Amino acid sequence: MPLNPKAFGLTAGIIWGLVILVFTLISVSTGYATMFLNIIVSIYPGYSISPMGSIIGLIYGFADAFIGFYIFALIYNLLENTK
């Protein structure tokens, strides 16, 4: 059964973007997940553990996951059709 790349990418993008947004906002207020978010700081330029950084992380996270999972679905469909 083929995957819909657009739907797969949008779903992953929304989820990953929201994860970064929520974790950043929680970290700003409680300090939780700072070690995880410091890894994200090193990956996404301009991102920081701050309220404005949470918006930047949401955008980067959405774009990153959308592109990655879109390509994944395309490759999956390509290999599924070669059976």
User: 3 by DSSP, 3-state: which?
Assistant: coil
Tens place of pLDDT per residue across the chain (83 aa): 899 999 999 999 999 999 999 999 999 999 999 999 999 999 999 999 999 999 999 999 999 999 999 999 999 999 998 86
In the prediction, which pLDDT does 81 show? 85
Q: Tell me, what's the pLDDT at 38?
A: 96
pLDDT at residue number 34 = 93
Task: Note the pTM of the prediction, 2 decimals.
Answer: 0.91
Q: What is the pLDDT of residue 76?
A: 96
**Tokens in use for 26?**
């929680």
